[in-house]
Amino acid sequence: MNIIQIYNPKKLVFGADSLDQFVADFLKLSHKRLYLVTIPPMIGKLGDTLSRLTEAGVATSINTTILDEPTFEDFERLIAEAVAFGADSVVGIGGGSVMDIAKLIAAQLHSEQTVDEVLSNGFQKQRSTYVACLPTTAGTGSEVSPNAIFVNSKGSKIGVISPELVPDAAYIDPALTTTVPPSVTAATGIDALAHCIEAYTNKFAHPVIDLLALEGVKLLGGSLLKAYQNGEDDEARTNVALGSMYGGMCLGPVNTAAVHALAYPLSTEFHIPHGLSVALLLPYVMEFNIAAIPDRYAAVAVALGNQEVGSHEDIARSGVRIIKELIRNCGLPGSLADVNIPFEAIEKLAAAAMPVQRLLKNNPRAISLSDAGKIYTSAFNMQEYEEKI
């Protein structure tokens, strides 16, 4: 059995009114200068929260500029702002990008290390700044993971991974996700589903994480379409948020694999949102991997609600069909052609994916440059592509 290391927030609150619980908990601490990273749509929802903090003598500096995957330049800009403000605590209320940058800001406040030094040698000093995360989407699981993803000056995605990035507290209130647009609900939900599937089918899968991963597959597979169709469906939103949290808990000890590695170039080269990039590749990487571990993919298919019988391979392939149907029913594009990626880009995409060995090494089946090209080719859905041109 593989050695496993699990790092979770010291406090995890899940359920209705978690935002109020955050305020109550925060006010028990001694912090008086809170740096808040959030998104513009949340400002109206945070009115009561900010008033309660102000009344208790807490000064708050708010930044709402992180709308896409953050760059290290974004980080340098925000941490300079936090330092100038004299922040003694940080909170991220938003999607994965917001939470990722909030976590790194907290880890780097009062640190003499540069980001380059962190990337080369890891954090040399324990984080001393309190950080809490509250997700407004159900997808990344950043609120419970030691991961933060940034884009470097070359346009490549870089993962900063450390126990120092695990928040002190996470507050997951499904109500914060009810106004998320259906398309975002779908894409981030598929991303969360991929976290769970890739953890369960990972070369470094572990029995402890298997429990979380399969339960996440069940919750997301059974409720994502309902949440997409009706954003006010409290039960569906709760199930999807819980499934996303389970997926986040899989990221530290096991992490993702080829789906995410091959999705990265779609974002960096063609600016396809991360969740959609994952959705475009998930079924095709699954098809490629089935031959290596058909029993594991069969278990995924059963968790997704498969009713078919037969060999492990047959049941596993039914799982791929379920995923493709879910993606289609959630209104997401089903092929690379649908997002106007040129077929001629395959060679470039494959070359860009191969350096992401920190994820490719986790894949249950080795992927060569040629294999990567074949997966991208499959993701074009050639019949649709030929009709498009």
pTM of the model: 0.94
Q: Mean pLDDT score of the chain, rounded to an integer? A: 94
In this structure, what token pair is assigned to residue 157?
Answer: 């995605």
Q: What is the mean pLDDT of residues 152-180?
A: 93
pLDDT higher than 50, residue 385: no
Q: Give CA torsion, residues 218, 220, 223, 229, to 10 deg.
A: -160
Q: Which among 177, 205, 226 is the end of a domain?
A: 177
230 and 328 in a common domain? yes
**Residue 179 has what pLDDT?**
87
188 and 150 in a common domain? no
258 and 356 in a common domain? yes
Is 261 inside any structural domain? yes
DSSP codes joined into one string, 74-99 = HHHHHHHHHHHHT-SEEEEEESHHHH
Is 120 inside any structural domain? yes
- How far is Cα 21 from Cα 100, in angstroms, rounded to an integer? 22
Residue range 219-239, pLDDT digits in tens: 999 999 999 999 999 999 999
If pLDDT is split at 50, 70 and 90, which confidence band does 387 have? low
Contacts (Cβ under 8 Å, ≥6 apart) of 185:
137, 138, 177, 224, 227, 228, 231, 240, 330
Q: Which domain does 49 fall in, by range?
A: 11-177
Q: What is the CATH number of the domain that holds 65?
A: 3.40.50.1970
203 and 164 in a common domain? no
Sort 164 into a burial class: Cβ within 10 Å, 0-12 / 13-18 / 19+. Answer: buried
Q: What is the mean pLDDT of residues 33-61?
A: 95
Is 5 inside any structural domain? no
Q: Which among 177, 208, 240 is the end of a domain?
A: 177
pLDDT higher than 80, residue 240: yes
**Residue 384 has what pLDDT?**
53
User: Within its chain, how far is the Cα of 231 from the centroid?
Assistant: 20
230 and 136 in a common domain? no
Is 4 inside any structural domain? no
pLDDT higher than 90, residue 353: yes
How many domains is the chain built from? Answer: 2
Is 6 inside any structural domain? no
Q: What is the mean pLDDT of residues 5-9?
A: 92
pLDDT higher than 60, residue 71: yes
205 and 73 in a common domain? no
In this structure, what token pair is assigned to residue 176?
Answer: 């914060």
61 and 204 in a common domain? no
Question: Quick check: 187 and 139 in contact, CB under 8 A?
Answer: yes
**Residue 382 has what pLDDT?**
52
Q: What is the CATH number of the domain that holds 298?
A: 1.20.1090.10
pLDDT higher than 70, residue 388: no
Is 341 inside any structural domain? yes
167 and 196 in a common domain? no
282 and 207 in a common domain? yes
- How far is Cα 10 from Cα 126, in angstroms, rounded to an integer? 15
pLDDT above 70 coverage of the chain, percent: 98
Q: Which among 155, 177, 199 is the end of a domain?
A: 177
277 and 308 in a common domain? yes
Rg of the chain over Cα atoms, rounded to whole angstroms, equals 20
Is 254 inside any structural domain? yes
pLDDT higher than 70, residue 389: no
Residue range 273-318, pLDDT digits in tens: 999 999 999 999 999 999 999 999 999 999 999 987 899 999 999 9
pLDDT higher than 80, residue 1: no
**Residue 381 has what pLDDT?**
76
156 and 290 in a common domain? no
Is 187 inside any structural domain? yes
200 and 172 in a common domain? no
Q: What is the mean pLDDT of residues 172-193?
A: 95
In this structure, what token pair is assigned to residue 265?
Answer: 């170039």
